[in-house]
């Protein structure tokens, strides 16, 4: 402190130094003044303001806009300071201006691109069609509904022939400046990473020729699962059926193959109709996934539970009854689907409410 004081005294003693020091202190004082967020602005419940910077805007333009609204004073000082410090580059997007902000903190936010982040969640088991509909509900992304699947794949840089199964269900963050295709590309890369890692650590003697077949199986497991803990058991049934040359005979694939004609019920005629996805009529796996599986379903497909069961039927409470023989399976079907069908029958368990 003693040395610093001596240096300042020496600086002040120099011709013109006192004036320079005074200007610098005045600049620092101006830059440290808090923003003014008056009640006539559209403030949120925390008293903060959402402020958007358009692409191509300069710091001088933004400073003038904020000054015209009375949010900041000294816009020229801010611009000059940014030039001297080499910090004139700002990033587009929506920012939160808080009552505690000043010119320095605002400049730091604009330099860093510390924009407001939003979140969007995609549950496990959703189809590509459901993803697109969910995204289109956000006005920023609504144009995606006007695109064909081929256009979406190209714009999202997804090098695949069919989009189903290739997006990882998760929560993703985005800002006002992000494209809907940025989210899809991010979800696609994440699915590829998770699938590749899982494939590398797969168990031997599984009936898959490629990671894509694992993705197909995982999507079926995802759609058949009512209770998360049953995924490995369901996977075990499907794997054993494939190994024995038995048809999978799983309703979700039939439903997927029916497309928009599915109205909530599968008729016997639907089961008898041959489509690429009707696993009651075709051998092996369908040609593509039928949904977006999560990591647990992929893990189950590659680590199926050992056992002897070859059939399962929904009990009506979200769980399944597993059987080794067709006779036992028929008895289970009669018990849970015909004779004792519950009034509150459901394929998925009722969510537990927090206390």
All domains of the chain, ordered by start, with CATH? 29-112 (3.30.1490.480), 118-196 (no CATH), 204-339 (no CATH)
pLDDT digits (tens, 9 = 90+) for 210-238: 999 999 999 999 999 989 999 999 999 99
pLDDT digits (tens, 9 = 90+) for 268-312: 999 999 999 999 999 999 999 999 999 999 999 999 999 999 999
Q: Which residues of 72-103 are buried (b: 16+ CB within 10 A; e: fewer)?
A: bebbebbbebbeeeeebebbbbebebbeebeb
At 37-65, the pLDDT tens digits run 988 888 887 889 999 999 899 999 999 99
- Mean per-residue pLDDT of the chain: 89
* Tens digits of residue pLDDT in 76-112: 999 999 999 999 999 999 999 999 999 999 999 999 9
Q: Running DSSP on this structure, what letter comes out for residue 335?
A: I
Whole-angstrom CA distances from 119 to 5, 156, 165 are 51, 19, 21
| Alpha carbon distance 138, 182 (integer Å) | 14
Question: Are the beta carbons of 281 and 275 closer than 8 angstroms?
Answer: yes
What pLDDT does 159 receive?
96
């Amino acid at each position: 402190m003693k040395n610093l004081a001596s240096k300042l005294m020496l600086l002040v003693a120099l011709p013109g130094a006192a004036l320079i020091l005074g200007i610098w202190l005045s600049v620092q004082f101006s830059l440290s003044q808090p923003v003014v967020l008056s009640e006539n602005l559209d403030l949120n419940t925390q008293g903060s303001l959402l402020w958007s910077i358009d692409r191509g805007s300069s710091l001088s333009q933004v400073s003038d806009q904020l000054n015209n609204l009375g949010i900041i004073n000294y816009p020229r000082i801010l611009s000059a300071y940014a030039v001297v410090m080499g910090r004139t580059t700002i990033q587009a997007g929506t920012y939160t201006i808080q009552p505690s902000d000043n010119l320095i903190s605002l400049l730091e936010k604009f330099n860093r691109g510390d924009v407001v982040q939003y979140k969007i969640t995609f549950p496990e088991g959703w189809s590509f069609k459901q993803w697109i509909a969910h995204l289109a509900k956000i006005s920023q992304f609504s144009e995606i509904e006007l695109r064909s699947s081929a256009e979406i794949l190209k714009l999202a840089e997804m090098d695949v022939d069919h989009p189903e199964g290739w997006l990882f269900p998760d929560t993703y963050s985005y800002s006002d400046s992000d494209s809907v295709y940025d989210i899809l590309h991010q979800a696609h890369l994440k699915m590829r990473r998770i699938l590749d890692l899982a494939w590398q650590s797969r168990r031997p003697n599984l009936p898959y020729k490629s990671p894509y077949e694992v993705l197909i199986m995982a999507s079926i497991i995802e759609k058949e699962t009512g209770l998360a803990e049953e995924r490995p058991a369901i996977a075990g049934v499907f794997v054993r059926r494939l190994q024995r040359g038995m048809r999978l005979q799983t309703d979700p694939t039939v439903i997927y193959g029916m497309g928009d004609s599915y109205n909530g019920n599968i008729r016997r005629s639907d089961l008898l109709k041959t489509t690429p996805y009707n696993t009651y009529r075709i051998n092996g796996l369908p040609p593509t996934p039928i949904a977006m599986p999560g990591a647990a379903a992929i893990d189950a497909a590659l680590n199926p539970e050992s056992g002897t069961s070859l059939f399962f039927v929904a009990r009506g409470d979200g769980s399944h009854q597993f059987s080794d023989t067709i006779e036992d399976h028929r008895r289970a079907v009669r018990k849970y689907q015909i004779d004792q069908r519950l009034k509150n029958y459901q394929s998925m368990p009722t969510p537990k409410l927090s206390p």
